[in-house]
Structure 1
Amino acid sequence: MTPARAFAGWRVVAGAFLCMLTGYAVAYSFAAFFGPLEAEFGAQRGDTSLVFSIAAFLYFLLGLPAGLIADRVGPRPVVTGGLLIVALGLVIAAQANALWQVYLGYSLGVGLGVGLSYVPSVTAVQHWFVRRRGTASGIAVAGIGVGTLIGAPLANTLIGHIGWRHAYLVLAGLTALGAIVAGLLIRRDPHFYGMEPDGEPVPPGGAPAAPSGLTLGEAVRTSPFWAVYVAALLMSFGLFTPFVHLVPYSRDVGLGAGFGVLLITLLGVGSTVGRFLFATVTPWLGRRLSFALMFVGAGAMLVVWSFSTTAPALILFALLFGAFYGGFVAIAPSLAADYFGGRSLGAVIGALYSGVAFGALLGSPAAGYAYDFFGSYAGAILAGALLCFVGFAIMLLAPEPARWLERRAPSR
């Protein structure tokens, strides 16, 4: 048996980690650009929030076509091309003379690019692992947490030294480098290389089996698909609001924009820790219940944020909300694989994330416009918390994957 450290699947994990680190470092660096863009173009908070929200809408909406393409041609060209589009979008945004041009560059570039690269990279990991799927997936998506951890502080430092336009150009160069390296590491399913998931030996005289499971059309006709879809859609209304509004919120309560950037960094710390922490819990509780707990945890933390005005309270919020967000992202792809198998997993995961797109598009701008109208974020934050709790209830009612598959077996 091939030693675990030599198993090619771990290179795929490294490629997925780097892909997500690169794409989401750019995406979540937006918090550092919020103030400079607001000042440069004299924009309201709702309009400035749309820069990020359009990008988030696109990168979740495009998960479905990206997954379909990657299922056919493999993840490497889709991941590499996606990250290069992110780099191009940043170059365009750096030349902007009006806010709509930032929409054209950052929003479309990051939205299209991350949308093309995320689902194929995270799906590739699911194909290479079964027994160690939770651990491998947790490591891969930790790239999002690390990207969150470094993106905003790096951007804030660059803006302070060379201005927001040149900061975008530096990030573009780093993104292009990440695209090349991640693309070299990402691979197609192990059976294309005469290998089995987890590095298991190929049966004597046999060929590696292609992934089994449901097609996208079959998956969308099941109750677990819609349970995960609707729950994730509801949670997404409040999920991305902190990544956009923590910096202006910190200014509002007298703690300063620099402290707000620190909070974004702490979201990244919590997210990274949460991905590994909750990966150790899922074998005990099961992935469905563990996934459900991410909803109630995130909702509780949004309630905490709604009345937090001191540095210790906001630090606690950022760390714990980041942890539950990280757990949500880490568990979702593996839960999808548990329910639907690997046959069309890229398309299935992409379809599930399309619901998140609408929450991501509407949630942060709604909070921004609520502030513009009412002078407070509290109502929008509490509405996001309520939707998280509804999502929690939906996942509690969803069936366990193993029992659900047993019930389906006779009809398959």
Structure 2
Amino acid sequence: MQGKPAVEGLETLTKRSSSMTEQPRSESVAEVDKVLAPTQEIDIPDGGLQAWLSVLGGWLVSFCAFGFASSFGVFEAYYVNAGTSSSSNISWIGSLQFFFLFAMGLPAGKLFDEGYYRFELAFGSLFLVFCMMMLSLADPTKYYQLILSQGIGIGIGSGLLLVPALSIQSHHWRRKRSLVMGIVLSGASFGGILYPIMLNQLFNNGVGFAWGVRAAGFMTLGFLVVANCVLRTRLPSARERRKVAGGRDLPKPRIRDILTDTPYLWMSVDRQYTDFYLQLWIAILNASSIIGRTVPNAISDRIGTLNTLAPLAVITGALVFVMFAATTPGAVIVFAILYGAFSGGFIAMLPPTLASMSRSPDEIGIRIGFGYCFCSLAMLTGTPISGALLGPQDDWAKPIIFSGIVLLAGAACIGYARVLVARRKGSRRV
């Protein structure tokens, strides 16, 4: 049964504010306490029309933000053929795009917690589509134009959208939060299939680069308009709660407390191998990641987020070394299926795991944002380092070993974070 939303309590209290001095002090304090109650005491419906509409909106944002970024392999091949620069230099465009996609999670998460989600969704959508149109006007032989429009502009626009689309699910879901966030992030898998295929066909079948990018931009605009219409928050923001509280001293989430939370820090010290060098098989990898982004998340709602994330991190790291045995097209396809499933599960488990470490609803956005911000540093350097290790002789052993070791080291950090959280909670279900 869906209880009365906390926002209704906020509206009721606001209407009574003009006559509050005429009411007994105990009644006004009780009203404030009702609005300021922690999430555990607020009835979160775990379903309903608005909840599922928010899932749809988040799915569309994930489709556009991650999907277009995942199509960079198509752009890279086109830029190399156009003589833009070397493959190693061009990879920086994709790295910057992913860097800002994740780095913008920090300001986006803070804005979401403060109640400015509507502004950042609208601005991020317009800015993303604007930069896609600017990319369509760019000269593919001019490196700086591609850096500005695709690497920086599209990355910033996408980054402003992703964290709000994920964080908003916590307003509608609690028991099924991990599964729902996995469903939202499965949009990235579908986008990672559709965008590359569409762009590759448009670039190489007479339409050309400019109108191919514009077609993708118009499709993105339509999806994001729908997302902006259906995404809705349900709980009062931190700014609204402080306004209702008047002069009362409310505890505010402090960045220092988050950055000194040892399990959270160990959990955040991890990132993954880039997929840009598997572009021939990227559609297969993204298709298999659909399973990885949903099944593990459904399991984690029963056994705990860290209990699910830690094994996924270990398996993902170990699978990188399997690339040594992938010497035939069939073996590469098998590797792409397995790696897509487990790495997709790892990616989809990050937001619900970070959210589960929040002490209050006011921290969910900034916790996810900080986690993504940590990831952005590895996103910025991962592909160029792998490209440099690959070298002109295509020595695959070096980037494989580097990526595998980094992933397994990250898995060890997650495992240690799991131990610390289990000790803190006194429970094995973490």
Instruction: Choose the corresponding residue for 2:217, options 172, 184, 187.
Output: 172
User: Once the two structures are superposed, what CA deviation does each residue of 1:69-125 show, in whole Å capped at 9, x if it has no partner?
Assistant: 122234233123213222211212222221221111111122101110111111111
Q: Describe the SS at the equivalent of 2:82.
A: helix
User: Once the two structures are superposed, what CA deviation does each residue of 1:337-377 show, in whole Å capped at 9, x if it has no partner?
Assistant: 22114222111111111111111111111222233344323
- Measure how far apart 1:213 and its partner are: 9.5
Unaligned runs of 5+ in 2: 3-44, 238-250
Q: Describe the SS at the equivalent of 1:189.
A: coil
Q: TM-score, normalised by structure 2?
A: 0.80
- Measure how far apart 1:403 and its partner are: 4.0
CA contact (8 A) 2:104 2:159 kept: yes
- Measure how far apart 1:264 and its partner are: 0.8
In 1: Cα distance, 2:400 partner to 2:132 partner = 30
| 1:208-357 map, 5 Å | 215-230=254-269, 232=270, 235-236=271-272, 238=273, 240=274, 242=275, 244-247=276-279, 260=280, 263-283=281-301, 285-341=303-359, 342-357=361-376
* Structure possessing the higher radius of gyration over alpha carbons: 2
In 1: Cα distance, 2:422 partner to 2:320 partner = 33
CA contact (8 A) 2:108 2:160 kept: yes
Instruction: Choose the corresponding residue for 2:387, options 365, 368, 388.
Output: 368
Structure 2 residue aligned with 1:253: none
Letter in 2 for 1:365: P
Instruction: Choose the corresponding residue for 1:48, options 90, 103, 106.
Output: 90
Letter in 1 for 2:230: L
- Measure how far apart 1:190 and its partner are: 3.6
Letter in 1 for 2:150: Y
Structure 2 residue aligned with 1:196: none
Letter in 1 for 2:300: T
Higher mean displacement: 380-389 or 303-312: 303-312
Q: Describe the SS at the equivalent of 2:184.
A: helix
Residues 50 and 135 of structure 1: CA distance in aligned 2, closer, same or farther (over 3 Å): same
Structure 2 residue aligned with 1:80: 122
Structure 1 residue aligned with 2:17: none
2:42 maps to 1:23: no
Residues 357 and 315 of structure 1: CA distance in aligned 2, closer, same or farther (over 3 Å): same
Letter in 1 for 2:51: G
Identity of aligned residues (%): 25
Greater helix fraction, Structure 1 or Structure 2: 1
Q: TM-score, normalised by structure 1?
A: 0.83
Give the total of aligned pairs: 368
2:168 maps to 1:150: no
CA contact (8 A) 1:44 1:372 kept: no
In 2: Cα distance, 1:406 partner to 1:370 partner = 43
Letter in 2 for 1:393: A
CA contact (8 A) 2:324 2:397 kept: yes
- Measure how far apart 1:390 and its partner are: 0.8
Let me know the Cα RMSD of the aligned residues: 2.2
In 1: Cα distance, 2:295 partner to 2:409 partner = 24
Unaligned runs of 5+ in 1: 193-211, 248-259, 408-412
Instruction: Choose the corresponding residue for 2:228, options 159, 175, 183.
Output: 183
Residues 7 and 217 of structure 1: CA distance in aligned 2, closer, same or farther (over 3 Å): farther
Residues 309 and 90 of structure 1: CA distance in aligned 2, closer, same or farther (over 3 Å): farther
Letter in 2 for 1:55: Q
Structure 2 residue aligned with 1:130: 174
Structure 2 residue aligned with 1:95: 137
CA contact (8 A) 1:292 1:395 kept: yes
Letter in 2 for 1:138: G
- Measure how far apart 1:309 and its partner are: 2.8
In 1: Cα distance, 2:284 partner to 2:84 partner = 29
CA contact (8 A) 1:50 1:365 kept: yes
Letter in 2 for 1:20: S
CA contact (8 A) 1:89 1:108 kept: no
